[in-house]
Amino acid sequence: MYKIMKKELLAPNIYLMDIHAPRVAKSCYPGQFVIIKIDEKGERIPLTICDYDREAGTVTIVFQTVGFSTKKMAEYEVGESYRDFIGPLGVKSELVEEAAEELAKKKILFVAGGVGTAPVYPQVKWMKEQGYDVDCIIGARNKDLIILEDAMN
């Protein structure tokens, strides 16, 4: 079981959750995703890894409630657990794999919108942690739907 450590409503119908999943947290990179199964009858839900904390053993997910399963996910509270949390899956961002000297020569601009800001955030964070200069433009249908704006700074 994978315990919810934090739950935050970022915008209408958009949630952020930190999930305690130490094995996933210790080996994930920007660009990868997880598959969550809420309970024994639930469907498999793929979600981008928005952030991770290797020391705390947590993985951050962001999702929008659009269907039955994501609405059910949003009903879970801190302290409750999801049945399965599988990952990391997929390929690391190509930026993580690029040679440092080549990456340092580039000026990178990320463009993100709405809930699509979640997959961009870990790449921006990683770039800044490595000392690279990056810019990010975030948009949405309206100001209330802009998420992770402070985290991008």
Over the stretch 75-109, which tens digit does the pLDDT of each residue have? 999 999 999 999 999 999 999 888 988 888 889 99
Domain 94-152, CATH:
3.40.50.80
Over the stretch 9-63, which tens digit does the pLDDT of each residue have? 999 999 999 999 999 999 999 999 999 999 998 899 999 999 999 999 999 999 9
**Largest interatomic CA distance in the chain:** 50
Domain boundaries, the chain: 2-89, 94-152
Can you tell me the mean pLDDT for 66-74?
A: 94
Tokens matching residue 22: 């130490």
Domain 2-89: which topology? Answer: Elongation Factor Tu (Ef-tu); domain 3 (2.40.30)
DSSP string, 4-67: EEEEEEEETTEEEEEEE-HHHHTT--TT-EEEEE-STTPPEEEEEEEEEETTTTEEEEEEE--S
